Structure formats: C-alpha cells, structure tokens
A and B are shown apart, each in its own frame.
Chain A
Amino acid sequence: MAKVLMKGNEAIGEAAIRAGCIHFFGYPITPQSEVPEYLARRLPEVGGQYVQAESEVAASNMIYGAAGVGMRVLTTSSSPGISLMAEGISYIAASELPVVLVNIMRAGPGLGGILPAQGDYFQATRGTGHGDFQLLVLAPASVQEAVNLVILAFELAEKYLNPVMVIGDGMIGQMMEPVEFPVEGVGPPLDPGDWALTGCEGRERRIVNSLFLDPEACNRHNLKLKAKYERMAENEQRWELYNCDEPYDLLVTAFGMMSRICKTAIDDLKAEGTNVGLFRPISLNPFPYEPCRRVIDRAQRILDVEMSMGQMIYDIQLAAQGRLEIDFHGTAGGVVPSPDEVADKIRESLARIGRSPARKPGKRSAKAAAAQKSKSKRSKKTATAQKPGKRGGKKPQNAGKRSAARQSSARRHGRRSGR
C-alpha cells in the first residue's frame, strides 16, 4: 500500500477506523483536536457514530457505555482532559472493558501550555485514577509508529479486556509524516463475547459493574486484576535499542519524540568518534525493566532525557538497581531540547566518567584515547560504589532562555490558545 502524507492526529483517527473502531466520543482540546475533527468527517462515511461530548468527564463515561455494549470505541484528549477522564477510566479498568485512549500530551501542570511535553508519564503509568488499576501504555516516536500502535492498542485492549493508552507528545499529533496503513478498509467488528450488554434475549442477564460492597469479593476482584497485570508484564513489553551493538560507555534513555532527538545527537557524536547507546521503552507500562537492565549493565553511566522534570527516570532507576549513576536532562513547558543541547549533555555525562570526547572528529590521538580508557576503568569503580538511586540531575542551564525563544515562536505561528 502506498504511503500518504498525514498529520499525526488524523493518522491516529484513520488507524482506529482501520482497526474496526467506528465509534468516537470526545471533546476538543489542543493539541489533539484534529482527531475529533477528522473523525467527525470520516465516521459517518463508514456507518459509525461521532459524538462531541459536553466534557471529558462525559466522554469517558460515553466510552464506558459504548464498550459495555460490546463496541470498539476510541477517545482522544490532551493532558488536562485526561485528568478529567480519570474517574471514568478507573471504572472502565475495574469493569474490564476494552477501550483505547490517546493522550497527545501538552505542557503542564494546570492549564500549562499547548506545546509538546511528556509530563503525563506518571499519570499514564502510575496514577491515572483512583484505586489499584493499570493501563497498558504505548508510546510512539513517529506518525507511522502511532498508526501501528493504535491498531495494536485495540488488539491488546480486547486480549486483556483492559483500557490501553497510546501516549504521544504534542509533536506526534501535530507533525506530518508519510505513513502506510497496514490494513485496508474498516476492520471487522468486535466479538461481544460473554460480557457485553447486548440485551438478554435467550441468555442469562449480564451486569457491567465495579461495585463490590463485600470486602472479600472486592479483594478477590483486585487479585484477579493483579493476575492480569502480571500477564501483561510478562507478554507485552516492547522497546527499541539504538546504537547498542558497539561498545558504549554511556546509555541514553528517552521515550517518544525525545528519543528521536537523542538519536540525532548520538549520530552526530558518532561522526566525532564517540559511541553512545540508546534505550527507548515503547511500552511505558509494562516497563521493560529486564531489557533495560541488560543494556545498562554494559554502560558506565546513564543519561535520561525527558520533556518533563524527571518522571521516567524512576523506572530507569528501578532497572538500574543502583548499579550506575543516572544523569538527567529535562525541559518542560513546551521547550524541546535540540540535538546539540542533548549532545552537550552527553559530553558532560561522559566527562563525569573521565571520557572527554573530541569536539571535532579526527583530532583524538591514540595516546589520549588510551589514557582516557584507563581513567574510565578507575572511575567505573567509583560510579558503582555510589549511593543507589541518587539522581545526578541538574537544572537545564539555559531553560529560561530557550523558553522565551519558544514562546515567541509560538506567537509567530499563531497557534490557537488554550482549549
């Protein structure tokens, strides 16, 4: 099938249709509004329903209703909107219904800003709503991957009868890239199985419910959910390694679009003769701890880069188990680190383990390289002896300056404001 050039948000909407989802309930919010705009046009063409909810609170309950009657259903939103859906998502998870949610993250906290950020990592992987439940969380790094993961999200939601969230920073939703849809047409409808409320004609009645007033029954329900989350952790870890085949001293960790910026920085440094590895989780929950630990074991130091004040870093710490020091570079508010900025942070991290990469390729003498190598062996001991879990993070030195530049750029582009 031929590639088409599509905006991320529109490609996400089309991917849902290809997966057989023809019902959408949602509320406009920048920077995801192109999803409802696209589907408002497309869904009537395929015999589906597009409903603009009065709020994200209502939207999350509409998808509860649609999934409860056994229909494949999608909602999309951006950070503050996901907060409003939190209660509904908890009910959906507790009632074990398959829904797909997309969060095109914007800057926070509060009303924050409309530019890309990754500050909802905790919300997606730890505390989406009240009570003991987990989402399957998938984080694409390109429009093509967003399409693939939306289609996968429906499969996983139905396999586990669990809500699945596809989480992308604002760039994923707003940028245009060539995409290829792996399937044509509209996918087949969902099999309502033995749980959906389709009317009790000719069978026992069914109840979609999350109320368990008997503590023993509620405990049993939680144990059942826990067993499911363990199955998810066993089977659904997804990740990408970049530049990890050759020996490296530093491992960079990043997810989503941030990982692509890191890759550019890594490529630039490679041209200078410095090899740096990258670990990118694709499933943020379940987090691929063991695969991450394997690449951490081959490094001497870690640099975690996020468009947040440091959230995924806690999972990197869990994977590292105190073996290595972790440096952190993070920006917020819609400030997107440039490859040069990341390269500088990589150089700083390398310097901390006694590696001073040549600024320009070809200038490193063999003698200097050998001297550095022996130095790094010494520093390796020091690094591993340090306190586990200590974060070597420093405040981004030029955050204020960049932030101002970014804001003026936002003004120039005349983005629509607020919600």
Chain B
Amino acid sequence: MNKIFGYPPTLTPRTTHYCPGCTHGVIHRMVGEVIDELGIRGRTVGIAPVGCSVLAYEYFNFDMFEASHGRAPAVATGAKRSRPNLIVFSYQGDGDLASIGMAEIVHAANRGEKITVVFVNNAIYGMTGGQMAPTTMPNQRTTTCPMGRDVNEVGYPVRMAELLAELRTPGFIARGSAHTVQETIRTKRYLKEAFEHQVAGRCFTFVEVLSTCPTNWGLSPREAANWLEREMIPYYPLGVKKRPDVQAAQEGA
C-alpha cells in the first residue's frame, strides 16, 4: 500500500501547545510542507517571534533562531545578508509584527530583503491573554478595550499586506486565511510562491494569514471560524496584493 499522507519531515513529532481551534498548527504545517516540497530543509533558517508562536523552534525541524519581540525581520536581514545561500523566513504574529516590530518589517520590505515573512493575524494578543492588537477589529472587545475597539480613540486596524504592497520596492505580498480547507489550500499556494521567489533570489516576500483565536475571542472553534469569515475577511480582503515582474527581472538580468 502506498503511503500518500504523513507527517512532514520539517516538523518535529511533537504535540503543539496551541489551543484547540487555533490555526497556528495548520500554518506551521503548510510552511513545513512547502519547505519539503521545494527540498530546501537543509538550507533553511527559521526565526520564531515573541507571542504564541514563541516556541515555533520546537516544532520546525531545521535550524531556528528565537528573536526578540518584533525584531525577526532584522535578524533575518543579518542572517540572509551574511549567508545569501540560506533560505530565511520569519514567523510572526500581529503584536510582534504590526505593533512593536512595525519599523523592522517596513524597512526589511523596503530594502527588498530576499526573505519570507509569514504573518499570522488573529486580531488579538494571544499569549499575554487577549489584549488589543493593532489588527483588532472595530468594536471588537478585548481585555484592554473592554467596551470594544473605539476607532476614534485608537484608530483603525492596520492592513499590513496593503501597507507593504504600497512600497515601490518589488515584492510578493499576499493575504490568505486558514479558517477553511479551501482557503488553507489557497494560502499554501501563496506560501509556496513566496518561498519560490526567495529561492530564485528575487524579492522580499510576505504572506499574511488570517487566523482564529477561539480562547481569547471567547468563541467555540466553529464560531471563531465563522466570526473570521464574517468580520475579518471584509476588512482584510484575501488575495495577492503585489507580484514581482518576473519577466522584467529576468530580462534585466
């Protein structure tokens, strides 16, 4: 009998610490599968952030950094610039990337660092217990906006993919979601394209993945998936925001 489905070699055989209904595990797996499919595990270096995925280095089965809060794109810059043959990616949440690490992500994208950034956006601070994130939805209740996010006080949620796509420097920028099988498969395609651009040494690559946080949203996993679809997707539209002009790049080279 042929084995047609198994554990990806790029993931360690460990049970993750993520809550039931959280999509971090699914996103880890997609990243792992893409790395396996491209055959780049032996030269990949991943960078774990601070946040729920702080222990990502326990689950990814290749060389890993643990970075300080928000600085993963700077760590990636140092690693990739000094060893360009490595495939370097950071895996960051919304507090890490869109709040404390805003400068690092914008400048890494603007310098056109040949890295991949996996940005998991669940509209809340998970690890610290459900505080407001820069991506928290208008009127969404969190422990630090108990009456709901008031956009007159704290502004609107930051759309990172669109913000980075505005930069003139070429890049691959996409947003997917992990709340349904269909969207998960589509998101994996974005991740694969992102890593392929990096393998070709082409450009900065960024994949935002909308993710659920049933625990801190106070919803069951199924309700959380529905809430993501109903509340988040209209505000955070899915799709590819920017692609490098591969043909022009090849002609230029």
Contact = CB atoms under 8 A, between A and B. Distances in A.
Q: Indicate the member of B68, B74, B78 with the most A CB atoms within 10 Å.
A: B78
Interface stretch (A138-146, A192-200, A362-370, A405-413): A192-200
A201 interface: yes
Contacts of B78: 23, 25, 51, 61-69, 73
Interface stretch (A11-19, A154-162, A204-212, A229-237): A204-212
Nearest to A199: B43
B227 interface: no
Contacts, number: 132
Interface in B1-56: 41-45, 47, 54-55
A53 interface: yes
A200 B41 contact: yes
A54 B83 contact: no
Interface string B65-108: 11110010011111111110110000000000000000110110
A201 B62 CA distance: 9
B128 to A, nearest CB: 15
A58 interface: yes
A58 B86 CA distance: 20
Given A54-B104, A197-B63, A205-B62, A65 B74 contact: yes
A192 to B, nearest CB: 9
Contact of A202 (B42, B68, B74, B104): B42
Interface residues of A, number: 38
B212 interface: no
A180 interface: no
Q: Indicate the member of B45, B85, B104 with the most A CB atoms within 10 Å.
A: B45
Contacts of B75: 61-62, 64-65, 68
B65 A68 contact: yes
A211 B111 CA distance: 29
Contacts of B62: 199-200, 205
A316 to B, nearest CB: 35
Interface residues of B, number: 35
Contacts of A202: 42
Interface in A67-92: 67-71, 73, 87-88, 91
B135 to A, nearest CB: 22
B52 to A, nearest CB: 13
B83 A69 contact: yes
B162 to A, nearest CB: 21
Contacts of A55: 103
Nearest to A72: B82
Contacts of A64: 65, 67, 71, 74-75, 78
B103 A54 contact: yes
Contact of B66 (A25, A62, A200, A209): A209
B111 to A, nearest CB: 8
A208 B45 CA distance: 10
A69 B86 contact: yes
A57 interface: yes
A222 interface: no
Given A199-B43, A199-B44, A210-B66, A71 B83 contact: yes
Contacts of B71: 57-58, 61, 64, 88
A379 interface: no
B50 to A, nearest CB: 9
9 contacts: A25-B81, A49-B82, A57-B74, A61-B67, A62-B78, A65-B78, A66-B81, A199-B44, A199-B62
Interface of A: 23, 25, 49, 51, 53-55, 57-59, 61-71, 73, 87-88, 91, 197-202, 205-211
Given A23-B81, A25-B78, A51-B77, 5 more contacts: A58-B104, A65-B65, A65-B78, A205-B62, A210-B66
